[in-house]
């Protein structure tokens, strides 16, 4: 992608907006989809959230102050959309977000868009034992191999706090994996 500031200017310009948005969509739809999918687990939910994320990006691009990178801004919107989705689903079913995610993990065995083996399922369960923030940090660092600086921009948390969260998350997951692999 060309110089980011120039590209953002094109996204804000009415004349070039549609074309630029198409480029943006092509570049980010897949990584953003997977980011959302790993949070909400279900394909249909991820599809809805992905669309809402890009609608929000499209609507809010004129208010984007370029204080962060464009990609971290989009990830932040996607993360917030996903978390809000889980919260509203929990509210609708009179449950907590954690309970909703456990139920979602249990549904994976029957999910037509999931064909992971038992180890994958157990790994998913282990990730779900983490609090939301630790889960997000673990996902972004361990799986997506993002830099702490970028994760910090996305989650709005200091790098130090993120490193501590990641350290704890890795320890917990490691413990769970050892348990899984021992049996």
Partner 1 sequence: MVSKNNINLNTNRFKTPKGYFEDITIDNIKKIERKGFKVPQNYFETINIDLINNTNYLSKIINFKYREFALSGIAAVLVIGLFINGFFSDSNSFKDAEILDYMNYELVGYSSYDYIELFDVNEFEINFNQLNDNDFEYYLETSFSDDQNLNNE
**Contact positions vs partner 1 (CB under 8 A):** 18, 21-22, 25, 29-30, 33-34, 37-38, 41, 43, 50-52, 54-55, 58-59, 113-117, 119-121, 123-124, 127, 142-143, 148, 163, 166-167, 170, 173-174, 177-178, 181
Tell me the closest approach of the beta carbon of residue 54 to partner 1, in angstroms.
Answer: 5
The nearer residue to partner 1, 80 or 128, going by C-beta atoms, is 128
- Report, in Å, the least distance between residue 58 CB and partner 1: 7
Q: What angle, 0 to 180 degrees and rounded to 10, lies between the N-to-C axes of helices 70-92 and 148-155?
A: 50
Task: Decide whether 43 or 89 has the Cβ nearer to partner 1.
Answer: 43
Cβ contact 131:104 at 8 Å:
no
CB of residue 27 to partner 1, shortest distance in Å: 12
Shortest Cβ distance from residue 91 to partner 1 (Å)? 17
| Nearer Cβ to partner 1 (90/168) | 168
Cα angle, residue 51 at apex, residues 61 and 111 outer, rounded to 5°: 150
CB 170, CB 129: distance < 8 Å: no
| Neighbouring residues of 149: CB distance < 8 A, sequence distance ≥ 6 | 159
List the one residue out of 53, 119, 112 whose CA is nearest residue 82: 53
């Amino acid at each position: 992608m060309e110089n980011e500031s120039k590209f953002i200017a094109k996204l804000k310009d009415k004349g070039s907006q549609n074309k630029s948005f198409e480029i943006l969509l092509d570049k980010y739809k897949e990584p953003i989809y997977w980011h959302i999918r790993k949070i909400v687990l279900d394909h249909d939910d991820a599809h809805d959230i992905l669309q809402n994320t890009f609608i929000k990006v499209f609507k809010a691009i004129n208010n984007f102050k370029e204080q962060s990178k464009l990609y971290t801004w989009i990830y932040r919107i996607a993360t917030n959309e996903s978390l809000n989705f889980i919260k509203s689903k929990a509210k609708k079913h009179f449950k907590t977000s954690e309970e909703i995610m456990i139920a979602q993990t249990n549904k994976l065995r029957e999910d037509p868009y999931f064909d992971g083996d038992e180890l994958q399922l157990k790994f998913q369960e282990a990730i779900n034992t983490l609090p939301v923030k630790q889960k997000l940090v673990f996902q972004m660092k361990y799986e997506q191999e993002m830099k702490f600086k970028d994760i910090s921009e996305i989650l709005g948390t200091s790098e130090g706090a993120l490193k501590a969260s990641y350290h704890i998350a890795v320890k917990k997951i490691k413990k769970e994996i050892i348990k899984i692999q021992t049996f």
